[in-house]
Amino acid sequence: AVPFSGTIQGGLQDGLQITVNGTVLSSSGTRFAVNFQTGFSGNDIAFHFNPRFEDGGYVVCNTRQNSSWGPEERKTHMPFQKGMPFDLCFLVQSSAFKVMVNGSLFVQYFHRVPFHRVDTISVNGSVQLSYISFQNPRTVPVQPAFSMVPFSQPVCFPPRPKGCRQKVSATQRPWTQTVIHTVQSAPGQMFSTPAIPPMMYPHSAYPMPFITTIPGGLYPSKSIILSGTVLPNAQRFHINLCSGNHIAFHLNPRFDENAVVRNTQINNSWGSEERSLPRKMPFIRGQSFSVRHRSLELGEAPTGAHGEGVVLTFVP
């Protein structure tokens, strides 16, 4: 619920990315703010990011020390729209906060106070939150994320036949627990070290098969991270990124063939399979995993296993 305040475990670190995903409300208020602060009082805010839908729209950045605001830095361009979802990413660097909106660099805000003092994030104003996540590609982070729901869109499950209980085999339901969320990175940015995604809570095991929409769809630099556990007796499972009735990307680990098949299906017709991997089978029966799907820029050089327009990072 907004206003929201939560503790950042471990505080801010150089290289940490904080992603705030939500929707600007169209019916109430003309402002919202994301604050990186010390404690919950709001008297010491290292970085105040404040979009304002007034006078044509602009964004105010500022710092508050001992309840006193410093000089404002204003950006007259407004990247947010009322009633529309957004991905807002803050990258902590040694000299500044680097802010990306929907995958595009928006502003850099140079530190006025040491960023390591920050231990709290707060969000207030005319906005609805979907989730806040933390990721540091330079280390192996175990950072929690604050989340109301995995997606801002409703989840849909295929209907079950009436009058009988559906039998689900290990092939149909390969995960005992899954966590799904999206992560935004800067355009052209590729992490040299695969990042373990943050935990999300509250959550429970998703029933299989699981179907949901992707808020805002896919675009270059947007990523989807799926975490789960393969059942001990699983033979196969798959992850599909779909467009209508077409399957743009089909990821199909097959334990009976010791392969990870990638493919595309258009008008119910499969294309040619891709099976090559840069290393051995990354999925293991009975063990947890994380898969990161990242959309590529046109002409961007992929690394790791990839299908057309998608790069995959496997984290056993």
pLDDT at 280: 79
**Average pLDDT in the 185-205 region?**
36
- Tokens, residue 104: 């595009």
Least confident of 26-30, 74-78, 206-210, 311-315: 311-315
Look at residue 59 and tell me whether its pLDDT is greater than 80.
yes
Q: What is the pTM of this model?
A: 0.50
Q: Are 49 and 58 in contact (CB under 8 A)?
A: no
Q: How far is CA 78 from the centre of its chain?
A: 22
* Span 252-293, pLDDT tens digits: 999 888 889 999 999 889 999 998 777 778 888 877 677 777
Mean pLDDT over all residues of the chain?
75
Confidence band (pLDDT; 50, 70, 90) for 294? low
Three-state SS across 94-113?
CCEEEEEECCEEEEEEECCC
Q: What is the pLDDT of residues 5-54, one digit of tens each?
A: 999 988 999 999 999 999 999 987 899 999 999 999 999 999 999 999 99
18, β-bridge pairs: 90, 134
Q: Rounded to an integer, what distance in angstroms lies between the CA atom of residue 217 and that of residue 226?
A: 16
Cα separation, 221 vs 295, in Å, equals 6
Residue 258 token pair: 């010791």
pLDDT at 164 over 80: no
DSSP 173: -
Mean pLDDT, residues 156-167 taken together: 42
pLDDT grade for 225, boundaries at 50, 70 and 90: confident
Token readout for 117 is 């003092």
Domains of the chain as residue ranges with CATH: 4-147 (2.60.120.200), 158-315 (2.60.120.200)
Question: CA 5 to CA 11: how far, in whole Å?
Answer: 14
Residue with the larger pLDDT of the pair 212 and 165 = 212
Q: What DSSP string runs through 203-222? A: --PPPSS-EE--TT---TTE
Return the structure tokens found at 68: 């006193």
**C-alpha distance from residue 45 to each of 3, 9, 60, 185, 251 (Å):** 16, 17, 13, 24, 44
Inter-residue contact 236 to 254 (CB < 8 Å): yes
Give the model's pLDDT for residue 295: 64
Tell me the per-residue pLDDT of 128-145, one tens digit each, with 9 for 90 and over: 999 999 887 665 444 445
φ, ψ for residue 115, nearest 5 deg:
-70, -20
